[in-house]
C-alpha cells in the first residue's frame, strides 16, 4: 500500500473523495494542488499538513501563501508548481484528478520522476496517449485507472491468464439525464437540466460530458491506451443503474463484470491499495434493492459526440486531441449559455474534422498546438 500521496485537483470532486479514502486508510499526504479554490485548500492544508501545495492560479497562490504563513507548508504556483507537486520526491503515488488538458504536463512530470500515477484525468491519455504510455514504459511507471469504468476493467483483468485470451472490453454508460430523448427534445436543454445526473456526484464538466456521452467517447480512447486494445474491440452499452461498471469478454465468450454501488471511492481506493483489498467507506451492494438491471444500445445518432470520438480514434494522430480541446471549450460555452446543448456535439465533430492529418506525434508541443487550434476553431464557429 502507498504510504504518501500527492493529490492534484484536491478541491474537486475526485480530489475530495480521495481525501476521504486517505482519512479512512490513515495515509499521509505530502503534496496538494488545486486550481483556485484556496478557501477549501487552506482547510485541507491545516488538516493533512502537506509539505508542498501548488495553486495553478498565480494570484490565488499569492493569497494562499499569506493565509497559511503560520504553517511550514511551501506554496508554489502556475503550471511549474503543478509539475513540482506531480514530481514531489516524497510521494509514493501521484493522484491526478485535475480536469482537462491542464493535466497532461503534470502526468508527464510525474512519470519522468519515476512516480506511479493514479489517473482520473482522462484527457491525459486521450490527447497524449502515445507520449504518456511510451514514457511510462521507459520509466517503469505504473498507471492505475481511477475512472470507474477503467478501474472495473483493470479489476476484471486481474484474473486474465494472458493478453491473447482477451476478446473485447465492454464499457458501461449510465446514459446521463437524457437517456431516450430525441434531438428535438434536446434542442432547448438548459445547463441546469444537463447538470442533474441520475446516479453520480461529479464536477460540472464531467457531468455535461456524461449528458452528451462525450465522456464515453473519451473513455474509449483512454481504454485503448491503458489496455493496449484497438477501438474496434471496445464496445459501449448503456446501463441505467450504474451497478455494473464495465466488463471484459474472453475468447470463449465468457464475460467477467465488476459490480458495486455508484461511488467513486471504490476505484480511488483500489488505485491506492493495489494489489491489496481493504475495508472501504462505501456501502455494501445488495442486488435485491434493484430487482433488475437494464442494458441498452447507445444512440450515436442523437448523441453525436460518441460518433465523433470514434471517428477521431480511427483518424488517429492529433484528431483525438482536437476533439478533446473542442469539447472543453464547447462545454464552457454551453455552461455560460452561449451555445445550445446540441451544438456541443456539432462543434466537436467540426473541429476534429478540420484538424490536419498528422500520423506521428513527436512532442507535447504537437498536442498543445492541436488543442489550441481546436479551441480557436470552436470559439470562431460560435461567434466568440
Q: Which residues are annotated as a binding site?
A: 11-14, 37, 121-123, 147-149, 174, 197, 203, 210, 215-216, 219
Which strands make up the sheet holding 166-173, listed edge to edge? 234-238, 166-173, 244-250, 255-259
No. of helices (H) and no. of strands (E), the chain: 16, 11
Q: Helix, strand, coil proportions of the chain in percent (round to 5)?
A: 50, 15, 35
Q: C-alpha cell of 50? A: 502537506
At 64, list the grid cell.
494562499
Query: Residue 196 corresponds to which cell in the numbers above?
Result: 442533474
Confirm if 223 and 171 have CB atoms less than 8 A apart: yes
Exposed/middle/buried for 372, CB within 10 Å: 0-12, 13-18, 19+?
Answer: middle
Residue 200: CB partners within 8 Å, gap ≥ 6?
174, 207, 210, 242, 262, 264
* CB contact at 8 A, 285 and 222: no
Q: Which residues are documented as binding site for NADPH?
A: 11-14, 37, 121, 123, 203
**CA distances from residue 297 to 227, 276, 322 in whole angstroms, order as listed:** 23, 35, 26
| Cis upstream peptide for 256 (omega within 30°) | no
| C-alpha–C-alpha distance, residues 235 and 254, integer Å | 15
Q: What is the rounded CA–CA span in Å between residue 96 and residue 52? A: 15
Q: Are 113 and 263 in contact (CB under 8 A)?
A: no
Q: From the annotation, which residues make up the binding site for Mn(2+)?
A: 147, 149, 219
Distance CA 37, CA 11 (A): 7
Question: Distance between CA atoms of 10 and 58, rounded to whole angstroms?
Answer: 17
The single-letter DSSP state of residue 228 is T
Strand 244-250 relative to strand 255-259: parallel, antiparallel, unpaired? antiparallel
Cell numbers that stand for 289 in this block: 434493492
Residue list for the binding site for 1-deoxy-D-xylulose 5-phosphate: 122, 148-149, 174, 197, 210, 215-216, 219
Q: Which residues pair with 166 in a beta bridge?
A: 250
Amino acid at each position: 500500500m502507498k504510504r504518501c500521496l500527492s493529490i492534484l485537483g484536491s478541491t474537486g470532486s475526485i480530489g475530495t473523495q480521495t481525501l476521504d479514502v486517505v482519512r479512512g486508510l490513515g495515509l499521509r499526504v505530502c503534496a496538494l494542488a488545486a486550481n483556485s479554490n484556496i478557501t477549501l485548500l487552506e482547510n485541507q492544508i491545516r488538516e493533512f499538513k502537506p509539505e508542498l501545495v501548488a495553486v495553478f492560479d498565480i494570484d490565488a497562490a499569492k493569497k494562499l501563501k499569506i493565509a497559511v504563513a503560520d504553517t511550514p507548508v511551501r506554496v508554489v504556483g502556475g503550471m511549474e508548481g503543478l509539475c513540482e507537486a506531480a514530481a514531489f520526491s516524497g510521494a509514493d503515488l501521484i493522484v491526478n484528478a485535475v480536469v482537462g488538458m491542464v493535466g497532461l504536463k503534470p502526468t508527464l512530470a510525474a512519470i519522468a520522476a519515476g512516480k506511479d500515477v493514479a489517473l482520473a484525468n482522462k484527457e491525459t491519455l486521450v490527447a497524449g496517449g502515445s507520449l504518456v504510455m511510451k514514457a511510462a514504459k521507459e520509466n517503469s511507471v505504473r498507471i492505475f485507472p481511477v475512472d470507474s469504468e477503467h478501474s472495473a476493467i483493470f479489476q476484471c483483468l486481474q484474473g486474465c491468464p494472458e493478453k491473447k485470451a482477451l476478446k473485447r472490453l465492454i464499457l458501461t454508460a449510465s446514459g446521463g439525464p437524457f437517456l431516450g430523448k430525441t434531438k428535438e427534445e434536446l434542442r432547448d436543454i438548459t445547463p441546469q437540466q444537463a447538470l442533474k445526473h441520475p446516479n453520480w456526484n461529479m464536477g460540472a464538466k464531467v457531468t455535461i460530458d456524461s449528458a452528451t456521452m462525450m465522456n464515453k467517447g473519451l473513455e474509449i480512447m483512454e481504454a485503448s491506451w491503458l489496455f493496449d486494445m484497438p477501438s474496434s474491440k471496445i464496445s459501449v452499452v448503456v446501463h441505467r443503474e450504474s451497478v455494473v461498471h464495465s466488463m471484459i469478454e474472453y475468447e470463449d465468450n465468457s464475460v467477467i463484470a465488476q459490480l458495486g454501488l455508484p461511488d467513486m471511492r471504490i476505484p480511488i481506493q483500489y488505485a491506492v491499495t493495489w494489489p491489496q483489498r481493504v475495508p472501504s467507506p462505501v456501502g455494501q451492494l445488495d442486488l435485491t434493492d434493484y430487482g433488475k438491471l437494464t442494458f441498452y444500445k447507445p444512440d450515436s445518432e442523437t448523441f453525436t459526440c460518441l460518433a465523433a470520438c470514434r471517428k477521431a480514434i480511427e483518424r488517429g494522430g492529433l484528431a483525438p486531441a482536437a476533439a478533446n480541446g473542442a469539447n472543453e471549450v464547447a462545454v464552457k460555452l454551453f455552461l455560460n449559455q452561449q451555445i445550445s446543448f446540441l451544438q456541443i456535439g456539432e462543434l466537436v465533430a467540426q473541429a476534429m474534422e478540420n484538424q490536419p492529418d498528422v500520423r506521428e506525434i513527436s512532442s507535447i508541443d504537437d498536442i498543445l498546438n492541436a488543442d489550441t487550434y481546436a479551441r480557436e476553431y470552436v470559439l470562431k464557429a460560435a461567434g466568440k
